[in-house]
Amino acid sequence: MDTEPRNKQLGDLDPARIPAHVGIIMDGNGRWAQARGLSRSAGHRAGTENLRRVLQAAGEYGVRILTLYAFSTENWTRPRPEVLALMVLARTALAREIDELDRRGVQIRIIGRREALDATLRQALAAAEERTRANRALTVNIALNYGGRADIVDAVRALIASGVRPEDVDEEAIGRHLSTEGQPDPDLIIRTAGEMRLSNFLLWQAAYAEFYATPILWPDFGPEDLYQALLAYQARRRRFGGLDKPA
């Protein structure tokens, strides 16, 4: 999809109602590869290459924060060769794209338990975060070895370590210790490949997020599909447990 059609679509979206924070569960790489007689690793490579056009479109549509579910705490149960291939792919993709991301003003932020990742990858991630720290065009949270339950556990552990009194533990205190501290909660969660579950993604933060599922496999999910998700989001009424205001 080129820029001209996307610019025309912008007129169909209300710029005042673009979700500030969008989370994406990028599912379907393996099925995409299987349908083409390719290896699962080839599917993961295709999914990684697809990120470029989705990130560009998100910025053009006015999304300010994009959180990408890249590798969950449960993904370690996959075959070891696939896990190793994913780690190498993350490092090589970051090295390949970092110059362009930095040029476009994208800030990279890593969420998840990075201590379990290999040292070379941890160094590459830390370098990308430091290099893009001052960028403000679009923040991209990359969830690596991330789990929503682990995120909450780590927040509670940090609160205990800080010596906070039990009566001072509230939602705001926990929120300040989550991996997305300082960011608004996601307004919209997108899941590709037709699945209808959060799979341990941003469990606390997504309490009132709108959910959008599409049967499109992640490597095929493009700017037009992101546009359709944003359009669907803008058709929703967000009540946050309350009632519609009278006309």
> What does the pLDDT look like over 59-87, one tens digit per residue?
999 999 999 999 999 999 999 999 999 99
- The CATH number given to whatever domain includes residue 34 is 3.40.1180.10
Within a domain: 75: yes
The alpha-helical segments, DSSP class H, found in 70-113 are 80-103
Do 78 and 69 contact (CB within 8 A), yes or no? no
pLDDT tier, 237 (very low <50, low <70, confident <90, very high otherwise): confident
Structure confidence at residue 123 (pLDDT): 96
Going from the C-alpha of 54 to that of each of 67, 116, 177, the distances in angstroms are: 12, 28, 29
Q: Residue 219: which of 71, 40, 39, 45 has the closest Cα?
A: 45
CA separation for the pair 59, 80 (Å, rounded) = 35
Q: Would the pLDDT of 6 be above 70?
A: no
Range of the domain at 97: 18-148+185-234
Residue 116's pLDDT is 95
pLDDT for the residue numbered 1: 40
What percent of the chain has pLDDT above 90?
Answer: 91
User: CA 159, 160, 164, 169 torsion: positive or negative?
Assistant: positive
- Tell me whether residue 54 is in a domain: yes
Residue 94 covered by a domain: yes
Q: Using CA atoms, how far apart are residues 106 and 64, in angstroms rounded to an integer?
A: 10
What pLDDT score was predicted for residue 242? 66
Q: In this structure, is residue 175 part of a structural domain?
A: no
What's the mean pLDDT in 208-217? 98
- Average pLDDT of the chain, as a whole number: 93
What confidence tier does 238 reach under pLDDT thresholds 50, 70, 90?
A: confident
Residue numbers annotated as active site: 27, 75
- The dihedrals phi and psi of 70, each to the nearest 5 degrees, come to -95, -40
Q: What is the DSSP string of 123-188?
A: HHHHHHHHHHTT--SEEEEEEEEE-HHHHHHHHHHHHHHTT--GGG--HHHHHTTSTTTTSPPPSE
Question: Which pLDDT score, from 0 to 100, does residue 12 have?
Answer: 87
pLDDT for the residue numbered 151: 98
Is 100 within the bounds of a domain?
A: yes
* 221 in any annotated domain: yes
Taking the C-alpha atoms of residue 237 and residue 239, their distance in angstroms, rounded to an integer, is 6
Residue 109 DSSP SS3: strand
pLDDT (mean) for 11-26: 94
* Residue-wise pLDDT tens digits, 89-123: 999 999 999 999 999 999 999 999 999 999 999 99
Q: How far from 244 is each of 142, 193, 224, CA to CA, in Å?
A: 35, 32, 30
| Structural domains counted in the chain | 1
CB atoms within 10 A of CB 128: 23
pLDDT > 60? residue 41: yes
Q: Which residues pair with 210 in a beta bridge?
A: 188
Nearest to 51 by CA among 103, 9, 90, 10: 90
CA dist 129 and 108 (Å) reads 5
Instruction: Indicate whether 164 belongs to any domain.
Output: no
In tens, the pLDDT along 135-178 reads 999 999 999 999 999 999 999 999 999 999 999 999 999 999 99
User: Phi, psi (5° rounding) for residue 143?
Assistant: -90, 105
Q: Are 124 and 94 spatial neighbours (Cβ–Cβ below 8 Å)? A: yes
Whether residue 5 is predicted with pLDDT greater than 90 in this model: the reply is: no
Specify if 72 maps to a domain: yes
Average pLDDT, stretch 179-195?
A: 98
